[in-house]
Amino acid sequence: MGTDVREPLKELSACGLPAALEVMGERWSFMILRASFNGVHHFEEFLSELGIARNILSNRLSKLVEHGILDRHQDPQDRRRVEYHLTEKGFDLLPAMVSLRHWGLKYGTEGVGMDPVIVDDRDRMPIGPVAILAHDGRILGPADLNMCARKNLPEAGRDRREGTPGDADRATEQPREAAE
């Protein structure tokens, strides 16, 4: 990665990573999110599926709800039970989760399982790696990346936030409901 401009590393508000780690920066938050992506919705299910202590689960669920990652509401089938569901903000963590999963499969210790496999629902083939994409859809590697002051961006890029859909994405973008 190039170093034309460095991030002010001591200034935590200059980067989205510290904010993300404040919410998701420990193991149980990721394990709860993983369970949510796998269809777990009730406190007791999280408890039995994850083997997590009740007090830790309660704390982490509260934090994920507070930060808008999960929604909490009564179970329509049993009003005594509470359900937790991923919000749009929670679903937006899927690429990070998949990337961490792939990293763990590649570099994890012996015995990291290879089953089940995440597949493309259309053709049932294993998915490819999560990639960093340019605004026009090109896949970028570390040598293709640099930091640049916003004022030095081309006019067309000045109002665009990093990590938002680019030119290539807009043509194929579909609502989340259609993708599910």
Which amino acid makes up residue 161?
A: R
- Six token digits for residue 13: 């508000």
Q: Decide: helix, strand or coil at residue 74.
A: strand
State pLDDT tens for residues 104-121. Answer: 888 887 767 778 899 999
State pLDDT tens for residues 11-40. Answer: 666 678 888 888 898 899 999 999 999 999
What domains are defined for the chain? 6-87 (1.10.10.10)
CB 93 within 8 A of CB 33: yes
Rounded to two decimals, the pTM is 0.79
Cite the DSSP H helix spans in the chain: 16-24, 27-37, 43-50, 54-66, 88-91, 94-107, 167-172, 176-179
Q: What is the pLDDT of residue 178?
A: 43
**How many CA atoms lie within 13 Å of 179's alpha carbon, on the beta-carbon side?**
7
